[in-house]
Chains A and B, each alone.
Chain A
Amino acid sequence: MSTKNNPETWHQIRLGFTANLVVAASVAAYGSVLGLLAAQKGLSWLQLLIMNLSVFAGSSQFVMVDMWLPPLPILEITLAVLIINMRYLLIGASLRPLFHGRSFIHKALHIHLVADENWAITMGRLHREPTTTAFLLGGGLCIQTAWCTGTLLGHRLGAVINQPEQFGLDFAFVAVFTALVFSFWRGRQDLFPWLITGLVAIISAQLLPGKWYILCGGITGALVSAFSPVNQEDKGYDA
């Protein structure tokens, strides 16, 4: 609480915001497609805005809008959202070192604005430069702003870009994650766990629906790492 007016906090928020600007452009483009679909399904712009602000998870919102038919299958939609967003359990868990020593209120307020994009950018920076939860929040604000702007534009004016795939925008997410993944490489100890992660992710993406592959690959790989013999010191993120 005492850090609220700290200039360093504002500095970190600004840094986090700008670090997410490029990927936010593709977030907005995808948002405009969702906005168009939502308008076709009869969602009002206000309902869509509230959904953006409160759910704030892109792929699950696409599925929600897809299932948006009368009478609303509330239970089915909620279950689908639970399954698609299950990865946030892991993403939340992996943020432990960033939130170390923070109050419950601080955690409860900051954790909401965690999307794949600002999570990855924050974690990639965490062990290279001083990074706080304000950096994560700044990124979250950037992604949230882009998401709301994109969806509302799409809702009011039709999709700004009808086929984002033509411009490689769907690949933006893969590209940004690929560019970041090397900052998570800790040395040879990671080779075998990462091979297993890739293998399990590919196989489970073939066999299981939705986003289960993220959980399967992530958990299996981390388990392999946990149960590998330790040769050198395990450089971690918990400083």
Chain B
Amino acid sequence: MMPDLIQQQDVWLTIFAAAMVTYGLRLGGLLLAERLPRTGRFQRFMNALPGTILLSLIIPSALAAGFWGWVATLFTAACSLKTGNVFVSMLLGMAIVAGGRLLG
């Protein structure tokens, strides 16, 4: 009838489906992990996981940020190692990227 109108029930259905899928992944991951053995290779896999996820989050995004992204990543890393302060390191990284973009 009115193909260019979004049906209200479709809106709520879409949001509900997206919410269920996302919540299912969050809770499912936690519950599945508890069924894995706490010894040997499984344990070593689980212990290594937080670091490797974080690293995979960082590297392609840092690469995509171009030259200043790399410079900023290096300085953020160095600052974090030197000071141990996450916030200061983060602000330094953001300032370098913003500054780099301002220069063009």
Given contacts A85-B25, A93-B29, contact A197 B55 (CB under 8 A): yes
Chain B residues with CB under 8 Å of A179's CB are 76-77, 79-80, 85-87, 89-90, 93
- The yes or no answer to A15 lying at the interface (CB within 8 A) is no
CB contact list, B14-36 vs A, under 8 A: 14-19, 21-23, 25-34
A22 with B91, Cβ < 8 A, contacts A70-B3, A88-B29, A93-B30 known: yes
Interface mask (B34-59 → A, CB under 8 Å = 1, otherwise 0) = 10001001111111111111111111
- In the bound complex, how far is the Cα of B42 from the Cα of A51, in angstroms? 36
By a CB distance below 8 angstroms, the chain A residues around B33 are 92-96
Contact A222 B49, CB 8 Å, known A178-B62, A234-B44: yes
CB distance from A204 to the nearest CB of B (A): 8
The 8 closest A-B pairs by CB, nearest first: A92-B29, A217-B56, A175-B93, A221-B52, A225-B48, A184-B51, A236-B47, A168-B98
Tier of interface size on chain A: 35 or more
User: Out of B23, B32, B96, which one reaches A112, CB within 8 Å?
Assistant: B23
Report the nearest B residue to A71, measured CB to CB.
B3
A157 on the interface (CB 8 Å rule)? Answer: no
Which residues in chain B, 57-81, are within 8 Å of chain A measured between CB atoms? Answer: 57-63, 65, 69, 72-73, 76-77, 79-81
Give Cα A219 to B76, complex, Å.
25
Interface residues of A (CB under 8 A from B): 22-23, 42-43, 47, 50-51, 54-57, 60, 64, 68, 70-72, 74, 77-78, 81-82, 85-96, 99, 107-108, 111-112, 114, 116, 120-121, 123-124, 165-182, 184-186, 190, 193-194, 197-198, 200-202, 205, 213-223, 225-227, 230, 234-238
Contacts of A111 in B (CB 8 A): 23, 26-27, 30
Of the A-B pairs whose beta carbons lie under 8 Å apart in the complex, a sample of 26, sorted by A's number, is A47-B12, A51-B15, A51-B18, A56-B22, A77-B18, A78-B21, A86-B25, A87-B53, A90-B49, A90-B53, A96-B46, A167-B98, A168-B94, A168-B98, A172-B94, A175-B89, A175-B97, A179-B86, A182-B81, A198-B55, A202-B60, A214-B56, A215-B56, A222-B49, A225-B52, A234-B47
Q: Which residue of A lies closest to B80 (CB)?
A: A179
Is chain A's interface secondary structure helix, strand, loop, or mixed overall? Answer: helix
Q: Chain B: interface secondary structure?
A: helix
5 other A-B residue contacts (CB within 8 Å) besides A89-B28, A226-B42:
A70-B5, A72-B7, A175-B94, A193-B52, A197-B52
| Interchain CB contact under 8 A, A168 and B97 | yes
Q: How many B residues have CB within 8 A of the partner chain?
A: 77
A200 contacts which chain B residues (CB < 8 A)? 56
Within the complex, the shortest CB–CB distance from A118 to chain B, in Å, comes to: 12
